Amino acid sequence: MTIQDPFHTLHENTPAIIASYIHKGTTNTFDSLSTSSSPHITIDRRIIDHQDNNNRFDLELKLTAHEGPIELEQLEFVFHMDIENTVMMADGFQCWTHSRELDKHGSISSISRTVAWWTQFDLQGDYNFYQYSGQVGVIHSNSYTYFRNANTTVFVGSLSESSGYTYFKADIPHNRFTIYKDIQGKRLAAGESLELRYLVTQHTDLNVMWQQYAQYYYGSSNALQQQQQQQRHLTGWSSWYNYYERVTEEDVVRVLEAFKSYDYKIDVLQIDDGYQRAIGDWLDVDTQKFPRGMHYLAREISEAGYIPGLWLAPYAVGFKSRLAKEHPDWLLRDGKGNVVVAGPNWGGFYALDIYNPEARAYLQQVFDQVLHDWGYRLLKLDFIFAAAMIPRLGKTRGEIVWDAVTLLNELTQGRALLLGSGVPLAATWGRLDYCRISSDASPFWDHTVLRLAHVRERVATHNALMSTLHRWPMKHVFGTDPDVFFLRSNDNKLTPDERFTTCTVNMIIGQLTLMSDDITKYNAIEHQLYASTFPKVHATIQQMIPIGPDVFRLDYTCNKRRYISLVNLSPVLFKTKLPLDETVAYYFFEQKNPLVDQQGLDDKVAWYKPEHGDEILLRPHETRSFMYITDHFAGSTGHFVPGWDIETWDDQQQDQIIRITLRKNIKTSAFNIWFTVDDGVAPTVFVDDTETEVTVMPLDKSGIHLAKCSIQQDI
């Protein structure tokens, strides 16, 4: 049988269909390969072509019940297409779930049964309702996927996540592709239809494909553009990764005073778990730890010029909470009336029944008090998956989690920025302001036991970075939160390379970048590096590509300048070379990691000419970033992304004059700006309209004639 590429297969071929459903108490199975029709259902396929784009169409698959009611159990559409030599994106079940590209040599295994029994970490994923094959070359992805080869990428994205989770399954060695819908529990009355729709688009640029996909979630291209224009880059501090549940009012006040004292221009100061007496009892503040109440801290944070943020897990109810004892009827129960356990955290927790009117009224009271009376303006809403542990009321799990996110918007009514976490991502696209795109980070690289036990949601910096690198295009559907970075040397097992890698990746990819360090314990170099992250960089990523096993290259622009970052997440030394374009003459500037040997940023710079063929070495877990030099600007050290410290660069070559305007809120007090000079003749340089002394440097080993001006600022 001749098979086609993914794009043409999905456009031209009718899939094999497998459906299982219950009708009048009897389970029925329909398999289009063995029978042509079913007495109870029909399934129709339709292609909607986009007249303005031959490389894009919508695939519609519609199931209609003729005799009802029916309750669906399984629904699959199977295609045979040429994918053996492609790489497939395998996005995880929820934001914490490990996500990355895989090829025919890759595999995805379910959590170890022993570890699941011991830890109950299986409850955080889809292990209990989706069958993992564990076979080499059998890959699955949630909500969307793409197949990439050397020539093009074919993207397939669900437009119907409000009706249930979508899994894209591929048996790559056998060229088999399946669209699987987690449809368990979905009821259809006679004459009622379930319409499933998918965007299929082909391009070489993931940015273009994600922009097309995002338009469906925002309703139009104009709405998408408006959202992206309003989307804010925010930096800040969270209490969790330093104080955890031990956090006190005194801790928060001390941190607040430190940020004011050092005048770090953060945007958000967020109090995480630990202020409440029990999970679910959100308005019962632990007054021994927070004697002046939560409104006091919100006011103090606001008066300091920061956005006050607060953590809530609105659908989680602790075993020992007052809510669980006084309102057991508000808890989610299975078909036998048993309370559903939603996770192991805090000694175990239940889920709130989001369809219970009294429970919804309680949540409205919580949000009204937190937002109106206390005054918090950013809410981190965690463990959202808990609302949808089981299908019920004729709804699928995915339908319920969609309702759960809808409820959050109804309860908050635009009164705060919403940050989602612990949530299947497609339910939040275009619906929350920000969302986590990774697992929790940690002050250690990885957890070996949990990694070997295939806990895809494990707390680990390596796990977080892998997902963050692969989910960078999600900036088109919400503000991305890659979780925190750690610069501190206290209470931290991350190496200097690992700390710098996390900071670099998070700052470049994330739109919301938080940390939890006690900045009063920073040494001088840690302060210098943290200061060099201000103001928050706005990077436009062109691509993220693998260049070796667990080694990646990020291509991006900032302020119209080009950069690459080489990220080695592997445990071994990696050798590579800088890209060489023979049609364009350019050099590279590098500002190296100052944490490695505690040298300042000005002492850690280098220039490279790619035609020299210099070998670039990446230590295990090291990241190195390079700026293309294509004009007279040859680098700077006022920001960890060289050039972001400069607002404008006006090079009047004919008059040998360079006029530089520095960006506002630069926190580095002393730094250098380098530029190339012709024949060793220095131009006249004005910085913020003041003529600045220029020093011509000795000829660099790369063969570049350089000069520099030194900037001193009163910070």
The ranges assigned to domains in the chain are 6-91+143-216, 233-317+346-495, 543-712
Contact criterion met (CB below 8 Å) for 669 and 713 = yes
User: Where are any strands of DSSP class E within 164-254?
Assistant: 166-171, 176-181, 187-188, 193-203, 234-238
Of 2, 145, 201, the residue nearest 82 (C-alpha): 2
Note the CATH number of domain 6-91+143-216: 2.60.40
**What single DSSP character describes residue 231?**
P
Residue 168 backbone zone (phi > 0: left; psi -120 to 50: alpha; other: beta):
beta
Residue carrying structure tokens 């700390």: 499
Of 204, 156, 213, 202, the residue nearest 179 (C-alpha): 156
Of 114, 91, 90, 117, the residue nearest 103 (C-alpha): 90
List, edge to edge, every strand of the sheet that includes 646-652.
Answer: 646-652, 657-662, 684-687, 690-692
| Residue 239 CA: distances (Å) to CA of 288, 430, 502, 685 | 18, 27, 18, 44
Contact criterion met (CB below 8 Å) for 532 and 599 = no
CA distance 141 to 100: 9
- Tabulate helix, strand, coil % of the chain (nearest 5): 25, 35, 40
Q: Would you tell me how many other CB atoms lie within 10 Å of the CB of residue 243?
A: 19
CA distance 545 to 564: 11
- The pLDDT score that the predictor gives to residue 356 is 98
| Start-to-end C-alpha separation, the chain | 71
- The pLDDT score that the predictor gives to residue 701 is 67
CA distance 34 to 32: 5
Whether omega for the bond prior to residue 535 falls within 30 degrees of 0, making it cis, is: yes
CA distance 464 to 126: 18
Fold of 233-317+346-495: TIM Barrel (3.20.20)
CA distance 428 to 425: 5
CA distance 438 to 92: 10
3-state secondary structure of 646: strand
| Residue 672 CA: distances (Å) to CA of 587, 683, 684 | 18, 16, 16
Residue 510 burial (C-beta neighbours within 10 Å; 0-12, 13-18, 19+): buried
* CA neighbours closer than 13 Å in the CB half-sphere of residue 104: 13
- The pLDDT score that the predictor gives to residue 225 is 63
Q: Which residues, 6 or more positions from 472, have their beta carbon under 8 angstroms from its beta carbon?
A: 480, 509, 541, 544, 554
Contact criterion met (CB below 8 Å) for 155 and 189 = no
Which residue numbers in the chain have pLDDT < 70? Answer: 1, 220-231, 582-585, 601, 700-702
Note the CATH number of domain 543-712: 2.60.40.1180
How distant is the alpha carbon of residue 601 from its chain centre? 29
Phi, psi of 484 (to 5 degrees): -85, 160
- In the structure encoding, which two tokens stand for residue 265, read together? 């221009």
Asked, colleague to colleague, whether 6-91+143-216 and 543-712 share their fold, the answer is: yes
The dihedral formed by the CA atoms of 478, 217, 186 and 58, expressed in degrees to the nearest 10? -130
Read off the pTM.
0.96
